[in-house]
Amino acid sequence: MNKYLLLFFLIAFIGCKKPAKPEIKSVGKTFKHEMKGLAIDSVFLQQYENGLLSSFYKMNGYETVWSKPELRKSVTEMLSKSAEDGLNPDDYGTEKLLKYESKINFLSQKQLVQYDILMTQALQKYLSHMANGKLNPKVIYANWDLPRNKFDVNVRLSEGISGDSLDVVIEKAKPTHLVYKRLKTALQLIDGFPKDNLKKIVTDKKIVRNDSSEVVLNIKKRLIYWKDMKATDTLTAVYDRQMLKAVKKFQWRHGLSADGVIGKGTVAALNYTKKQRKEQIIANLERWKWFPRNMGDHYIIINLPDYTLRIVKDNDTIEEKRVVVGKTERKTPVLTSTFNNIVFNPTWTVPPTIIREDLTPAATKNRGYFAEKGITIYNWKGDTVSAEKWNPAKFNSYRYVQKPGNDNSLGNVKFNFPNHYTVYLHDTNHRDFFVKNYRSLSSGCVRVENPLPLAAYMLNDSIRWPLDSINKLIATAKTKVIRLKEKIRIHQLYWTAWSENNELIFRDDIYNLDADLYDKLRK
């Protein structure tokens, strides 16, 4: 009897047990199921409130498009690797897409349509972010004027599905400039560093060779961490020769004066954490998505935080020059344009900000200011006004023009290009500024070191305008405007990180933009 009872319970248990579901293998390895093309109701698409999405499916006959498993796999792999370009994979719902794929054999037609739409949305967003960045600089900054890069997301996406490889389409969306590639390398390099748990360096004194202190020991640890100094079994607290060499290398990598003296600037750079540097690199990757894809065959590019101007022709850097850029309260705008003329012996019409903040306070204290600066005052009729009759209470009702000459604020030459900020490149009467390491010192325009050879180069006329002829013209102190025949582009840009020969390179974030941009990217 007990045997029959035991057999009864065993049969009942087996009968009640639910049939096992088919095993779902890793979606990253399979992606084998081919989806059938399904119709999508245009009214159904309206709930997404996305014109770009509706336009895409209209172009594709209101049918699902991600039928091929290899295409879906390619999309999810690209989205998963988006962090390599400084993007956030969470922005594209990659995990949700993978969950849909893992259940693809059990999805209803409605769910298959939803999956298709989600994949399209994710890739549209990704392509838009690659082509023009996640954020719009014109919305964030009042003095950034960069045209949006032309990239038709829907056309390119359709090409990737039906014709060109999807990988090719993605590559077409990415920035191609060398600096962007070096930033991606920098991101890989920073990820290779271990966790940063070093103590913050605190000192109010300059540290030089042969100094000895606990601070020196902490600095050595940071230099070893950043691979500027080789690790040793024993570390002394003495600033020795090996450390001097390491400090100079560190200073060079950060755009500091490589003199081996550890001052405030060097300490500030040493105190950056790995996390801060990584965020800085990601912020710069975003900026390079904003910058023009095609800089032109012949252009001048200025990196404001690096205080450097480069002449580039046919992808070769012909020359580099030092520049002075706007101070924090009078930032140099970021823009792209084309040079149209060069003015030798320019006059200088004092701009409103300088009239209000500099000229008026100085001239109110000393009416001799106008004569000292070679400035003529004009009323609204265009008549000259003497310094004695000038009314400081009505300073805005006058026009102030400085005569040409070596002491003119613009120096001996200025380089004009159309822009919304009335800025230009120019010479300066403060030529001593170029020897300084920190050169965020101007009122907004970019000052160029030794600009006359640059003018001769841009004019490219060895018969009428060789450098000797330009110097003779300067000696006359007469103003002359010469239009440029060749279209030379100008790009005033802002980036604070990159890499060179597998070394991390950083510059001081002179306008304090990096941390704020990173925060906005991750919101």
pLDDT one-digit tens code per residue, 189-244: 999 999 998 899 999 999 999 999 999 999 999 999 999 999 987 899 999 999 99
What is the number of structural domains in the chain?
A: 2
How many helices and strands (H and E) does the chain possess? 20, 18
CA distances from 490 to 258, 339, 371, 454, 495 (A): 30, 7, 35, 13, 16
Residue 22 has pLDDT above 70, yes or no: no
Domain assignment of residue 60, yes or no: yes
Look up the domain containing 167 and give its range.
42-174
Output the pLDDT for position 164: 65
> Band of the pLDDT at 24, cuts 50, 70, 90?
very low
Given a contact cutoff of 8 angstroms between Cβ atoms, the answer to whether 50 and 121 are in contact is: yes
Span 128-178, pLDDT tens digits: 999 999 999 999 999 999 999 999 999 999 999 887 689 899 999 999 999
> Band of the pLDDT at 399, cuts 50, 70, 90?
very high
Question: With pLDDT > 70 as the criterion, what percentage of the chain qualifies?
Answer: 93
Question: With pLDDT > 90 as the criterion, what percentage of the chain qualifies?
Answer: 89
Domain assignment of residue 467, yes or no: no
Mean pLDDT of 112-132: 97
Of the candidates 367, 402, 437, which is a domain's last residue? Answer: 402
Domain assignment of residue 459, yes or no: no
> Band of the pLDDT at 314, cuts 50, 70, 90?
very high
CA distance 340 to 488: 8
Q: What is the DSSP secondary structure assignment for residue 272, as one 8-state letter?
A: -
Sequence-distant (6+) residues with CB within 8 A of 175 are: 288, 289, 291, 293
Given a contact cutoff of 8 angstroms between Cβ atoms, the answer to whether 286 and 85 are in contact is: no
Domain assignment of residue 322, yes or no: no
CA distance 330 to 45: 48
Output the pLDDT for position 5: 43
CA distance 387 to 368: 8
Domain assignment of residue 125, yes or no: yes
Of the candidates 174, 206, 221, which is a domain's last residue? Answer: 174
CA distance 164 to 356: 58
Domain assignment of residue 370, yes or no: yes
Output the pLDDT for position 162: 84
Where is pLDDT greater, at 353 or 280? Answer: 280
Given a contact cutoff of 8 angstroms between Cβ atoms, the answer to whether 48 and 137 are in contact is: no
Domain assignment of residue 95, yes or no: yes
Residue entry with tokens 């698409």: 45
Domain assignment of residue 310, yes or no: no
CA distance 251 to 499: 15
Structure tokens at 256: 């500091």
Q: What is the DSSP secondary structure assignment for residue 500, as one 8-state letter?
A: E
Given a contact cutoff of 8 angstroms between Cβ atoms, the answer to whether 324 and 433 are in contact is: yes
Output the pLDDT for position 90: 94
Structure tokens at 433: 């500024």
Closest among 22, 516, 46 to 282, alpha carbons compared: 516
Output the pLDDT for position 30: 55
pTM: 0.90
62 CB neighbour count, 10 Å cutoff: 15
Structure tokens at 380: 């609204």
Of the candidates 132, 148, 174, which is a domain's last residue? Answer: 174
Sequence-distant (6+) residues with CB within 8 A of 110 are: none
Span 79-107, pLDDT tens digits: 999 999 999 999 999 999 999 999 999 99
CA distance 282 to 514: 9
CA distance 308 to 303: 6
> Band of the pLDDT at 363, cuts 50, 70, 90?
very high
Where is pLDDT greater, at 75 or 26? Answer: 75
Given a contact cutoff of 8 angstroms between Cβ atoms, the answer to whether 364 and 392 are in contact is: yes
